[in-house]
Structure 1
Amino acid sequence: MTQARIAKYQAHTNIALIKYWGKRNQELILPVTSSLSLTLEAFYTQTQVEFSDQFANDQFILNGHPQSHEATTKVSHYVDLFRRTAGVTLPVKITSDNYVPTAAGLASSASAFAALACACNDALDLNLNPHELSIMARQGSGSASRSLFGGFVEWEKGSGEDSNSSFARPFDSADWDIAMIALVLNHQSKKFSSRKAMQHTIETSPFYKLWPEEVAKDLELIKSAIKQKDLKQIGEIAEHNAMKMHATMLAANPSFTYFESDSLKAMELIKNMRHNGLTCYYTMDAGPNVKILCPYSQSQQIKEQLLHYFDESQIIISQVGPAPFALDVSGV
């Protein structure tokens, strides 16, 4: 009997301001374009791994519920990346708690795989650095590579089929007057998974061929705006980039959208608030929820305006989130 190897980590979600939409390699999760995100303090995942020869097989418990064979197998395959690197075959028990609405366009997979990657690295004494870990996290969920760092993070698309060329890196600590408000319009799992939606868009949308070119331009513009701490320009670029991404979906065949009536209502409210002098810009990912980039100093004022139309439980103000960190393990 070998001693159990245990570690537990907390990782935070990130929201892309320059979007990742489309893979050039499905298996390795190599993106068509680079992207840039902001890590959020309010949404996170806590994951504990325990490797032990006392387990008959791998176990996966999410939010207190044992997961299906299919879900466990998927996570097991991912953990195999770390087991192969460590040269071990020990079964693992994964206990994960998501403090994010799962699969609703709030990047729960990003924090989940980032926390899992960090916990596996620690428990198996691999000593991978954040750069190397971002490559490993990417292979679980593309956006997880960005959750390896706090603040503004750039995910480099890399080149060709070289898995090690695509990684995330910190760009700016975002330790200034900046926040994001999540407007949670739908807690339900989304109708179309991101993976299927991306591939359908690539294969059928005539607008998609313009997407890489637009992202490259937007990325350079937003990096310059971040260096200048120009939130107005950052917001304008991010809002337009998000709408261009959703336009590729609307032009797919058959067409589809993540917009719901409340999503559209929220966008109009944000434009009206902007017209009335507040600094606020919207972005949306693969889900109906709307995220609002704004100065933290104006976040309460914006929330008060939103309360005229949405319930307080739907409005979550988030400051900038940190890189993953270790937690005390339970029962040890």
Structure 2
Amino acid sequence: MRATARAHPIQGLVKYHGMRDEELRLPYHDSISVCTAPSNTTTTVEFQADREEDAYVVDGERLEGRGADRVRTVVDEVRDRAGLDDRVRVESENNFPSNIGLGSSSSGFAALALAATEAAGLEYTLPEVSTIARRGSSSAARAVTGGFSDLHAGLNDEDCRSERLDVPESFAADVRVVVAKVPAYKETEHAHAEAADSHMFEARLAHVHDQLAEVRDALREGDFDRVFETAEHDSLSLAATTMTGPAGWVYWKPDTIEVFDAVRELRSDEDVPVYFSTDTGATVYVNTRAAYADEVEARIGDCGVETDVWRVGGPAQVLDDDAALF
């Protein structure tokens, strides 16, 4: 009863903030993201009847504490649905840095949920798998369905699941994401936990539905500027809410601001189609089109940060057994 799966992390375009139910990780509103490739997480899961306790290993380190608890939440949900009592061995590897704002929890829990359901013999659609991944991280639901995906808000698994959005193939193929890696550790859970205590939270709820409608329509039309201009504005809205919570979390660093300035100069002075976006962290997604990727990467590199160029990634997938990590 072993299976291996791979998933790509997400960049939030219209991001969720705060949870109405922390146990089921039910967000207050819908959220839309795009998966980024070739960045990925590979995870192998095996249910073992003779094992005495679960073991969770990520990038060679055994998880303890809150990290192990979050993995156990997903594993227990699979065990309950499959009627299993076996202990489990989980090993996971990322091919990109974690905890710097690149969505490693999204790809991690997406790969875990898909590998675990496959190993348990559950025959689920990807939207159904997304409801299990959501228990580890709401953003993981969208990493399950991949591409450009929409996690619908709801109070149950029938409603709160991810759906892949239809976009023109030529649009998706043209998107490039220059990743400006700003290495600053971040803790997303704390920001979500206190989001509703910010005096800006109600203001965010008042306008986020307009942003969701804008991005859905722009994606359907394949309108690059509308999609990523809205994502840029949503990043600023998210940061305003986060920074005005009780702890006053400020994730951006001087390098982050320098990248923002470089993006705006490229756009205003050189008419380059380019927009910045951040999730909860200091690292910046710089969204542009294929013809401009080299120029944008060179300019962002001048800011003194490490860069990668990524594309749109697909859904989580089950791998052949020869890809297993153990």
Report the TM range for the smaller structure's normalisation. over 0.9
| TM-aligned CA deviation for residue 125 of structure 1 | 0.8
- Alignment deviations for residues 81-124 of structure 1 (CA, whole Å, 9 cap, x no partner): 00111111011100100123222211101000000111011111
Q: 2:96 aligns to what?
A: 100
Aligned residue type for 1:318: W
Q: 2:175 aligns to what?
A: 178
Q: 2:255 aligns to what?
A: 262
Query: Is 1:320 aligned to residue 312 of structure 2?
Result: yes
- Alignment deviations for residues 145-165 of structure 1 (CA, whole Å, 9 cap, x no partner): 00012321111112xx33431
| TM-aligned CA deviation for residue 230 of structure 1 | 1.3
Q: 1:293 aligns to what?
A: 287
| TM-aligned CA deviation for residue 26 of structure 1 | 0.9
Q: 2:196 aligns to what?
A: 202
Aligned residue type for 1:169: E
Counterpart selection for 1:64 from 54, 60, 63: 60
SS of 1:172's equivalent in the other structure is coil
Within-5 A mapping of 1:230-241: 230-241=223-234
| TM-aligned CA deviation for residue 255 of structure 1 | 2.4
Q: 1:156 aligns to what?
A: 152
| TM-aligned CA deviation for residue 246 of structure 1 | 0.8
**Bigger shift: 216-225 or 174-183?**
174-183
SS of 2:23's equivalent in the other structure is coil
Distance in 2 between residues matched to 1:126 and 1:117, nearest whole Å: 11
Counterpart selection for 1:249 from 242, 262, 270: 242
Distance in 1 between residues matched to 2:267 and 2:79, nearest whole Å: 51
SS of 2:165's equivalent in the other structure is strand
Q: 1:27 aligns to what?
A: 23
Query: Is 1:84 aligned to residue 80 of structure 2?
Result: yes
| TM-aligned CA deviation for residue 184 of structure 1 | 0.5
| TM-aligned CA deviation for residue 235 of structure 1 | 1.7
In the superposition, the TM-score normalised over structure 1's length comes to 0.92
**Bigger shift: 171-180 or 293-302?**
171-180
In the alignment, structure 2 segments of 5+ residues that lack a partner are none
Cα RMSD after superposing both structures: 1.6
Aligned residue type for 1:162: N
Aligned residue type for 2:27: P
* 8 Å contact from structure 1 (residues 13, 110) kept in 2: yes
Counterpart selection for 2:135 from 99, 119, 139: 139
Q: 2:34 aligns to what?
A: 38
**Bigger shift: 170-179 or 274-283?**
170-179
Counterpart selection for 2:220 from 227, 231, 237: 227
* 8 Å contact from structure 2 (residues 258, 303) kept in 1: no
Aligned residue type for 1:290: V
Distance in 1 between residues matched to 2:101 and 2:307, nearest whole Å: 15
Distance in 1 between residues matched to 2:111 and 2:285, nearest whole Å: 23
Query: Is 1:111 aligned to residue 103 of structure 2?
Result: no
Distance in 1 between residues matched to 2:265 and 2:65, nearest whole Å: 48
* 8 Å contact from structure 1 (residues 146, 155) kept in 2: yes
Say if 1:91 and 1:162 are closer, same or farther in 2 by CA, change over 3 A.
same
Say if 1:327 and 1:271 are closer, same or farther in 2 by CA, change over 3 A.
same
Say if 1:251 and 1:123 are closer, same or farther in 2 by CA, change over 3 A.
same
Distance in 2 between residues matched to 1:133 and 1:246, nearest whole Å: 30
Say if 1:132 and 1:269 are closer, same or farther in 2 by CA, change over 3 A.
same
In the alignment, structure 1 segments of 5+ residues that lack a partner are none
| TM-aligned CA deviation for residue 69 of structure 1 | 5.6
**Bigger shift: 96-105 or 211-220?**
96-105
| TM-aligned CA deviation for residue 331 of structure 1 | 8.0
* 8 Å contact from structure 1 (residues 235, 281) kept in 2: yes
Say if 1:218 and 1:331 are closer, same or farther in 2 by CA, change over 3 A.
closer
* 8 Å contact from structure 2 (residues 74, 113) kept in 1: no
SS of 1:164's equivalent in the other structure is coil
Distance in 1 between residues matched to 2:230 and 2:65, nearest whole Å: 42
Aligned residue type for 1:184: K
Distance in 2 between residues matched to 1:69 and 1:198, nearest whole Å: 19
SS of 2:281's equivalent in the other structure is coil
* 8 Å contact from structure 1 (residues 146, 169) kept in 2: yes
Distance in 1 between residues matched to 2:159 and 2:213, nearest whole Å: 19
Aligned residue type for 2:281: G
